[in-house]
Amino acid sequence: MPSPAKSFFWYELMTTDLDAAEAFYTAVVGWRAEPFDKAPGSPRYIVVNAGDRGVGGLMTLPEEAAKMGVPTAWMGYFPTKDIDASVDALQKAGGTVHRPVDDIPGVGRFAVVADPQGAAFMFLEPNGPDQPPVPLNTPGHVGWHELYTTDWQQAFDFYSGQFGWVKDEPFDMGPMGIYQPFVVDGVVNGGMMNKPEQIPVPVWLFYFNVTDIDAAAKRVTDNGGKVVMGPMEVPNGQWIVQCTDPQGAYFALLAPTR
């Protein structure tokens, strides 16, 4: 049975320098950072807030993950009310479990998984009541979710089957192929495409909302990050840059104007 989760609701950076990452992202995105202290004995965790809502967290890349070659990266969580059923449905649809269901004290139960093409994400069955969704255009929140994959048609079938996503109008990018936006609960939430050669493996890229793309790109470079693409206008009239942070994690920024 597919999970009732519809799309990502939390975003987590695993990094090699937690203090540096906190300083970088608070300067670039404008988040308010606060330590998470509700899981005694757990590794240090920093919650980042857009306005009065937590939208993500920063943590040190676990030693065992680093030894396995896991890179510094952002990951997204899907919420679920029954994580065992969600993981079972994912496996039956050809997905992979990288870390079986486990407990986060004071938070809930989680699992690290990947879609059939290999793009990783996480499930979380949270303790406590549901939170209302944050509108996609909230400053500091993720305003667009982009999947780079090896077969976007098969990837779309997977996410549609698991989470009920539907197609929006595709966009023909010429030699780069088709860009397929997807709709979640009536709202265009992101898009997917076959990955270019410079992206080594299938991956989700998250676009954080900022107000002015040029000012935000300058904050990236002023604080030790790199702009690897853009600023570029996208078909809906918004502006984007794709970047890496000082520790090498890939992320992007999205603004309504230039």
| Token duo for residue 150 | 């090896």
What's this model's pTM, rounded to 2 decimal places?
Answer: 0.95
Listed in sequence order, the residues at least 6 apart from 244 whose beta carbon sits closer than 8 Å to its beta carbon are 225, 226, 228, 250, 251
What is the C-alpha radius of gyration for the chain, rounded to an integer number of angstroms?
17
**95 phi, psi to nearest 5 deg:** -80, 175
pLDDT in tens, 219-234: 999 999 999 999 999 9
d(CA 15, CA 21): 7
pLDDT in tens, 140-181: 999 999 999 999 999 999 999 999 999 999 999 999 999 999
Collapse the DSSP code of 29 into the 3-class scheme (helix H, G, I; strand E, B; otherwise coil) and give the result.
helix
Mean pLDDT for the stretch of residues 69-82: 93
pLDDT score of 3: 40
